[in-house]
Protein backbone atom coordinates (compact mmCIF):
# COMPACT_ATOMS: atom_id res chain seq x y z
CA UNK A 1 0.00 0.00 0.00
CA UNK A 2 1.54 3.35 -0.94
CA UNK A 3 1.74 6.37 1.39
CA UNK A 4 -0.92 8.28 -0.55
CA UNK A 5 -3.57 5.62 0.06
CA UNK A 6 -6.18 7.00 2.53
CA UNK A 7 -5.91 3.92 4.75
CA UNK A 8 -2.17 4.59 5.20
CA UNK A 9 -2.63 8.14 6.50
CA UNK A 10 -2.55 8.78 10.25
CA UNK A 11 -5.95 10.51 10.14
CA UNK A 12 -7.65 7.16 9.57
CA UNK A 13 -10.62 6.86 11.95
CA UNK A 14 -10.37 3.19 12.86
CA UNK A 15 -7.01 1.94 13.98
CA UNK A 16 -7.59 -1.79 14.31
CA UNK A 17 -9.82 -4.55 13.07
CA UNK A 18 -11.51 -5.21 16.42
CA UNK A 19 -13.38 -1.89 16.22
CA UNK A 20 -14.68 -2.72 12.75
CA UNK A 21 -15.83 -6.18 13.77
CA UNK A 22 -17.51 -4.83 16.90
CA UNK A 23 -20.36 -3.77 14.64
CA UNK A 24 -21.03 -7.28 13.44
CA UNK A 25 -21.46 -10.52 15.35
CA UNK A 26 -19.85 -13.15 13.16
CA UNK A 27 -21.25 -16.04 15.21
CA UNK A 28 -24.88 -15.09 14.59
CA UNK A 29 -24.37 -13.16 11.33
CA UNK A 30 -26.30 -10.18 12.70
CA UNK A 31 -25.52 -6.54 13.30
CA UNK A 32 -25.07 -5.62 16.92
CA UNK A 33 -27.91 -3.41 18.19
CA UNK A 34 -27.61 0.23 19.20
CA UNK A 35 -24.39 1.06 17.37
CA UNK A 36 -23.66 4.77 17.29
CA UNK A 37 -24.02 6.26 13.80
CA UNK A 38 -20.59 7.92 13.97
CA UNK A 39 -18.96 4.55 14.62
CA UNK A 40 -20.78 3.07 11.60
CA UNK A 41 -19.56 5.92 9.38
CA UNK A 42 -15.97 5.39 10.55
CA UNK A 43 -16.25 1.66 9.93
CA UNK A 44 -17.67 2.14 6.44
CA UNK A 45 -14.85 4.58 5.68
CA UNK A 46 -12.35 1.97 6.85
CA UNK A 47 -13.99 -0.83 4.81
CA UNK A 48 -13.99 1.31 1.68
CA UNK A 49 -10.24 1.93 1.77
CA UNK A 50 -8.99 -1.52 2.77
CA UNK A 51 -6.47 -3.15 0.51
CA UNK A 52 -7.82 -5.64 -0.53
CA UNK A 53 -11.38 -4.49 0.23
CA UNK A 54 -13.48 -6.74 2.44
CA UNK A 55 -16.92 -7.91 1.43
CA UNK A 56 -19.82 -5.92 2.82
CA UNK A 57 -22.51 -8.50 2.03
CA UNK A 58 -23.65 -8.48 5.63
CA UNK A 59 -24.42 -4.76 5.66
CA UNK A 60 -28.16 -4.39 5.65
CA UNK A 61 -30.69 -1.66 5.90
CA UNK A 62 -33.59 -1.89 8.28
CA UNK A 63 -36.88 -0.28 7.41
CA UNK A 64 -39.78 0.01 9.78
CA UNK A 65 -43.07 -1.16 8.34
CA UNK A 66 -46.29 0.72 8.91
CA UNK A 67 -48.66 -1.32 11.06
CA UNK A 68 -52.41 -1.23 10.65
CA UNK A 69 -54.82 -2.31 13.37
CA UNK A 70 -58.08 -4.17 12.86
CA UNK A 71 -59.96 -5.35 15.96
CA UNK A 72 -56.83 -4.88 18.12
CA UNK A 73 -54.72 -7.09 15.84
CA UNK A 74 -51.79 -5.57 13.98
CA UNK A 75 -51.13 -6.20 10.31
CA UNK A 76 -48.49 -5.09 7.83
CA UNK A 77 -49.55 -3.89 4.40
CA UNK A 78 -48.33 -7.17 2.87
CA UNK A 79 -50.49 -9.16 5.29
CA UNK A 80 -53.50 -7.00 4.40
CA UNK A 81 -52.84 -7.57 0.71
CA UNK A 82 -52.75 -11.33 1.35
CA UNK A 83 -56.12 -11.05 3.10
CA UNK A 84 -57.50 -9.15 0.09
CA UNK A 85 -56.13 -11.72 -2.35
CA UNK A 86 -56.84 -14.95 -0.50
CA UNK A 87 -59.43 -14.07 2.15
CA UNK A 88 -59.44 -14.92 5.83
CA UNK A 89 -59.83 -18.62 5.05
CA UNK A 90 -56.07 -18.76 4.42
CA UNK A 91 -55.61 -18.85 8.20
CA UNK A 92 -54.75 -15.50 9.73
CA UNK A 93 -53.12 -15.50 13.14
CA UNK A 94 -55.61 -14.59 15.86
CA UNK A 95 -58.58 -15.50 13.67
CA UNK A 96 -58.20 -19.27 13.32
CA UNK A 97 -59.94 -20.87 16.27
CA UNK A 98 -63.64 -20.55 17.05
CA UNK A 99 -62.80 -19.43 20.57
CA UNK A 100 -60.60 -16.60 19.22
CA UNK A 101 -63.39 -15.47 16.92
CA UNK A 102 -65.94 -15.60 19.74
CA UNK A 103 -63.67 -13.58 22.03
CA UNK A 104 -63.17 -10.98 19.28
CA UNK A 105 -66.93 -10.82 18.73
CA UNK A 106 -67.63 -10.37 22.44
CA UNK A 107 -65.11 -7.55 22.66
CA UNK A 108 -66.04 -5.71 19.42
CA UNK A 109 -69.65 -6.67 18.73
CA UNK A 110 -70.89 -3.09 18.41
CA UNK A 111 -68.14 -2.01 16.02
CA UNK A 112 -68.59 -5.09 13.83
CA UNK A 113 -72.39 -4.91 13.66
CA UNK A 114 -72.46 -1.15 12.99
CA UNK A 115 -69.92 -1.45 10.17
CA UNK A 116 -71.47 -4.53 8.59
CA UNK A 117 -75.03 -3.19 8.90
CA UNK A 118 -73.94 -0.07 7.01
CA UNK A 119 -72.07 -2.07 4.40
CA UNK A 120 -74.89 -4.59 3.83
CA UNK A 121 -77.52 -1.87 3.73
CA UNK A 122 -75.55 0.15 1.15
CA UNK A 123 -74.70 -2.82 -1.06
CA UNK A 124 -77.48 -5.37 -0.61
CA UNK A 125 -80.43 -3.44 0.88
CA UNK A 126 -80.62 -5.80 3.84
CA UNK A 127 -79.29 -6.03 7.36
CA UNK A 128 -76.04 -7.70 8.33
CA UNK A 129 -77.86 -10.63 9.92
CA UNK A 130 -80.10 -11.16 6.89
CA UNK A 131 -77.11 -11.12 4.54
CA UNK A 132 -75.03 -13.53 6.65
CA UNK A 133 -77.98 -15.90 7.16
CA UNK A 134 -78.52 -15.91 3.40
CA UNK A 135 -74.83 -16.77 2.84
CA UNK A 136 -74.80 -19.49 5.50
CA UNK A 137 -78.02 -21.02 4.17
CA UNK A 138 -76.39 -21.57 0.77
CA UNK A 139 -74.03 -24.06 2.42
CA UNK A 140 -76.24 -25.65 5.04
CA UNK A 141 -79.78 -25.11 6.30
CA UNK A 142 -78.70 -26.01 9.84
CA UNK A 143 -76.22 -23.29 10.74
CA UNK A 144 -75.41 -22.21 14.29
CA UNK A 145 -75.11 -18.84 15.97
CA UNK A 146 -71.36 -19.49 16.34
CA UNK A 147 -71.09 -19.80 12.55
CA UNK A 148 -72.90 -16.48 12.13
CA UNK A 149 -70.49 -14.82 14.58
CA UNK A 150 -67.45 -16.31 12.86
CA UNK A 151 -68.71 -15.23 9.44
CA UNK A 152 -69.34 -11.69 10.72
CA UNK A 153 -65.88 -11.33 12.25
CA UNK A 154 -64.10 -12.71 9.19
CA UNK A 155 -66.18 -10.58 6.81
CA UNK A 156 -65.43 -7.47 8.87
CA UNK A 157 -61.66 -8.08 8.77
CA UNK A 158 -61.72 -8.78 5.02
CA UNK A 159 -63.69 -5.59 4.30
CA UNK A 160 -61.49 -3.44 6.55
CA UNK A 161 -58.33 -4.92 4.99
CA UNK A 162 -59.67 -4.12 1.54
CA UNK A 163 -60.54 -0.59 2.63
CA UNK A 164 -57.06 0.04 4.10
CA UNK A 165 -55.24 -1.35 1.05
CA UNK A 166 -57.38 0.76 -1.29
CA UNK A 167 -56.65 3.89 0.77
CA UNK A 168 -52.89 3.24 0.80
CA UNK A 169 -52.57 2.04 -2.78
CA UNK A 170 -55.20 3.60 -5.05
CA UNK A 171 -54.28 1.21 -7.88
CA UNK A 172 -55.21 -1.86 -5.87
DSSP 118: H
Predicted confidence (pLDDT) per residue in 42-68, tens digit? 444 444 555 555 555 555 566 778 999
Helices 145-168 and 128-139: crossing angle, nearest 10°? Answer: 110
Q: Which of 65, 56, 158 is nearest to 112 (CA)?
A: 158
Give yes or no for a cis peptide into 123 (omega within 30° of 0): no
pTM: 0.64
pLDDT averaged over every residue in the chain: 77
Residue 83's Cα: distance from chain center in Å? Answer: 12
The domains of the chain are located at 1-62, 67-168
Amino acid sequence: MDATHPAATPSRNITHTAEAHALYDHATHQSRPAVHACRVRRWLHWVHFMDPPIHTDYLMSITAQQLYFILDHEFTLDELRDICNYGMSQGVSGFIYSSDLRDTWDKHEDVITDYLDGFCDDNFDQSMCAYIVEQLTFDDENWTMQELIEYAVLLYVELRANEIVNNVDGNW
